[in-house]
Amino acid sequence: MHDMFTTIDHLFTPGKGILAADESKTSIGKRFRELGIADTPELHRQYRECLFSTPELEEYISGVILSDETIHQTMSDGTPFAASLQQRGMLPGIKVDRGLTPAALSDAEQWTEGLDGLRERLQAYKALGAVFAKWRAVFVISESTPTLGNLQANCQTLARYAALCEEAGIVPIVEPEVLYDGTHCLSQSYEVHEQVWRELVYQLYQQGVSFETTILKASMVLSGKEHHHADAVEDVAAATIQGLSHTLPASLGGVVFLSGGQSNEQAYAHLNAMCRDYTGLPWALTYSYGRALHARAMAAWGGQEAHIPAAQEALLADARACSLASRGALS
């Protein structure tokens, strides 16, 4: 348990956050093809080495979430990615869920698979250097969703995953993402987020999970992408903090935010407003961004070795903006 507390303390080092580089082979392949990059395991490896070898990245990144493919890959010199990150003070984590599947008797909701064999996989990942893990569930806002059955099933699965992580001495990040897609307004988003967070806390308690060594990866309370009204930054910050404050135990290890389809600028501005305007919260806040941290780097790299410096410069600029936002100091 002591090591888990040490991991939490490191991940929430002030001014630092988590880089989500955990795209599955399918997801990274799709992004590569969109940019005209050949979809090969070697180019996957080269891209990740480009990210992880970025000079000074450890000034802004405390941990990196890897995929199963990535945790088995190495730097050009043969050093495993996990070991290379650890040497630079960036803790290696691992995404352990096996993706989404349609919920039974529903064409609108999804479950997350991957509990089968998870105990053994966690031990294997721990041997490879992982000290924290992540599991993602998704919830859709519509006139008929989320249903109570889906809400309970996904939150119970998150809690069972977290219990297995704690048993293995690995810090669990639980990610109940409320999707940004839709026409819903801010108040609808708030209502669903509060339902999801309340149910998750209940299920974690039912499974006996230690809140102190658990991290919530939260989506922000936003109106849907197709909603006719754009949210004010301050309204998003207020609604998100209110929802978290009404549902989370004070003992929770911390909260990291996902960017969830927002533009880079939106993701940074919303985080900045929360960290600037709401101090004295019982849990630390920071970022765990994927696309909002390295989408511009991927585009700059484009599969070309000659473009590595430009890609690393883009990543470092976005990491620096995230760091400032996590301190409420982004101008």
Query: Could you write out the three-class secondary structure of 150-174?
Result: HHHHHHHHHHHHHHHHHHHCCEEEE
Per-residue pLDDT of the chain (331 residues; tens, 9 = 90+): 569 999 999 999 999 999 999 998 999 999 999 999 999 999 999 999 999 999 999 999 999 999 999 999 999 999 999 999 999 999 999 999 999 999 999 889 999 999 999 999 999 999 999 999 999 999 999 999 999 999 999 999 999 999 999 999 999 999 999 999 999 999 999 999 999 999 999 999 999 999 999 999 999 999 999 998 889 999 999 999 999 999 999 999 999 999 988 999 999 999 999 999 999 999 999 999 999 999 999 999 999 999 999 999 999 999 999 999 999 999 8
Q: How confident is the model at residue 230, as a pLDDT?
A: 87
Q: How confident is the model at residue 1, as a pLDDT?
A: 54
- Map tokens 């039974």 to a residue: 104
Q: How confident is the model at residue 17, as a pLDDT?
A: 98
Query: Residue 223 falls within a domain, yes or no?
Result: yes
Say what the pTM is: 0.97
Q: CB count, 10 Å around CB of 34?
A: 10
Query: Residue 294 falls within a domain, yes or no?
Result: yes
Query: Residue 254 falls within a domain, yes or no?
Result: yes
CA 31, distance to chain mean position in Å, is: 18
Residue pair 54/301 in contact by the 8 Å Cβ criterion: no
Q: How confident is the model at residue 295, as a pLDDT?
A: 94
R_g (Cα) of the chain, nearest Å: 19
Q: What is the DSSP letter of 58?
A: G
Question: Active-site residues: which are they?
Answer: 175, 217
Query: Residue 331 falls within a domain, yes or no?
Result: no
Q: Cα–Cα distance between 146 and 302 in angstroms, integer?
A: 38
Task: Please give the residue range of the domain that contains residue 24.
Answer: 2-326
Query: Residue 217 falls within a domain, yes or no?
Result: yes
Query: Residue 141 falls within a domain, yes or no?
Result: yes
Q: Cα–Cα distance between 10 and 313 in angstroms, integer?
A: 25
Q: How confident is the model at residue 107, as a pLDDT?
A: 85
Domain count, the chain: 1
* Mode of pairing for the β-strands spanning 254-257 and 132-139: unpaired
- Map tokens 């806002």 to a residue: 141
* Integer CA distances (angstroms), 165 to 1, 70, 107, 132, 171, in order: 11, 20, 31, 8, 6
Q: How confident is the model at residue 229, as a pLDDT?
A: 87
> Quick one: tokens of 331?
């101008």
Query: Residue 165 falls within a domain, yes or no?
Result: yes
Query: Residue 13 falls within a domain, yes or no?
Result: yes
- CATH no. for residue 109? 3.20.20.70
